[in-house]
Amino acid sequence: MEVFHAQTQLKEHLESIISSKKTIGFVPTMGAIHQGHLSLLQQALNQNDIVVVSIFVNPTQFNNQQDLDKYPRTLERDVALIKMLSDNIIVYAPTVDDIYNGTTIAQKFEYDGLESEMEGANRPGHFDGVGTIVKMLFEIIKPTNAYFGEKDFQQLQIVRKMVQKNNLDVNVVGCPIFREESGLAMSSRNERLSEKAKQKATYIYKVLQEAKDVFQKSDVKQTVDYVTAAFKKETDFTLEYFVVANEDNLQTVHQKETDKKYRAFIVAHIEEVRLIDNIALN
Ligand code: PAF
């Protein structure tokens, strides 16, 4: 399996692949590889001639230095897990300098307001950092298809918008949330939970499924009230937000309309770990 740390070498390696018109599937990650990432890689393997995965903890998307410092960096283990899935996956694990060349600054992006909702409202600059790194990686790797999990649904929509606005020639593929058998959405953050909290955290998806039911039988207000009450009685959790939003523009909705697609988004904390999840409502 080939692991590259320098973009010049990776580009050289990919040149002949690109000119021979082979398809390249790309999975960007920040490492701490788990089953969710492996499911994206499996889909990329099924749909492309060549697969590239990047492992890079991108400093410009963190608005909190402590969060950045604490982010797990487990390259050796990550490479071993990827190798177990397939020996043919190309790994790009650059240094910060290889990407940012001494200027670790995010570009400014305009995502037609998608960046002001939910995660964007709470993490200023976060989606500029995401847009910056994803665009750079697309320019280095020139993928045919790029795979993003629906767990970070807002990120997925933002990457789609960035691709559209910059006329990038890449097909962005959204992949369903990969869940533990218990229903808990796979995330590197789950590793920070005690076994007891991991068990408890299954409550998030349970309530989301119930919320979907309430939404289909009644209206937005009752759905929000239902979830708010469900978390009020579970004192191990702090509910940061629960929002019903239009799937396309991510704006919070208060009234259902026909022909629109809705999704519920949640962030809840347990044992000081911030867990994020979402569900399609119709
Ligand atoms: O979802 C992530 O892990 C990151 O935001 C991404 C897309 C790899 C960009 O750093």
The string of pLDDT tens digits covering residues 34-60 is 999 999 999 999 999 999 999 999 999
From ligand 1's centre to the CA of 55, what distance in Å? 9
pLDDT single digits (tens) 2-24 = 999 999 999 999 999 999 999 99
4 neighbors 93 (Cβ within 8 angstroms): yes
Q: What's the mean per-residue pLDDT of the chain?
A: 96
Separation CA 47–CA 43 (nearest Å): 6
Catalytic residue among 5, 13, 34, 37: 37
Task: Find all residues with CB under 8 Å of 44, minimum gap 6, and list them.
Answer: 25, 26, 27, 51, 145, 147
Residue 37 designated active-site: yes
Confidence of residue 191 (pLDDT cuts 50, 70, 90): confident
Confidence of residue 70 (pLDDT cuts 50, 70, 90): confident
pLDDT of residue 125: 94
> What does the block give as tokens for 167?
């006329």
pLDDT of residue 123: 87
Residue nearest to atom 9 of ligand 1 (CA): 130
Separation CA 157–CA 102 (nearest Å): 30
pLDDT single digits (tens) 158-190 = 999 999 999 999 999 999 999 999 999 999 889
Residue nearest to atom 8 of ligand 1 (CA): 29
From ligand 1's centre to the CA of 78, what distance in Å? 15
Q: Exposed, middle or buried: residue 127 (CB in 10 Å: 0-12, 13-18, 19+)?
A: buried
Which atom of ligand 1 is the closest one to the Cα of 28?
Answer: 8
Which atom of ligand 1 is the closest one to the Cα of 29?
Answer: 8
Q: Percent of the chain having pLDDT more than 70?
A: 100
Look at the alpha carbons of 116, 118, 123, 127 in this order and tell me if their dihedral is positive or negative: negative
Does pLDDT of 122 surpass 90?
no
Confidence of residue 254 (pLDDT cuts 50, 70, 90): very high
Q: In the predicted model, what is the mean pLDDT of residues 94-99?
A: 98
Does pLDDT of 67 surpass 90?
no
